[in-house]
Amino acid sequence: MKRASPTRQRLAALGLLGLPLLTYPLLGLPTGHWLGLPAGYVYLFGVWAGLIGLAAWVAERKGK
């Protein structure tokens, strides 16, 4: 029987982390302006880019 690979499990964990981060109620936290831009805009794109970056790091890592 083939075991679930650690890479796949790490990616799935990232997905499960992204779900609460990108939905309410956590999404209600950023208000006002960050860096001169609307907070929600910065937060959404920031978290999203972070998830993509982590996923790229996990998926493209050599060896595992």
Among the listed residues 54, 56, 13, the one whose alpha carbon sits nearest the alpha carbon of residue 5? 13
Q: Which residue's CB is nearer to other proteins, number 45 or number 63?
A: 45
Q: Which residue's CB is nearer to other proteins, number 4 or number 63?
A: 4
Among the listed residues 20, 24, 40, 44, the one whose alpha carbon sits nearest the alpha carbon of residue 32? 40
Among the listed residues 16, 47, 2, the one whose alpha carbon sits nearest the alpha carbon of residue 29? 47
Provide the binding-site residues for other proteins, judged by CB under 8 A: 1-2, 4, 7-9, 11-12, 14-15, 18-19, 22-25, 27-28, 30-31, 35-41, 44-45, 48-49, 51-53, 55-56, 59-60
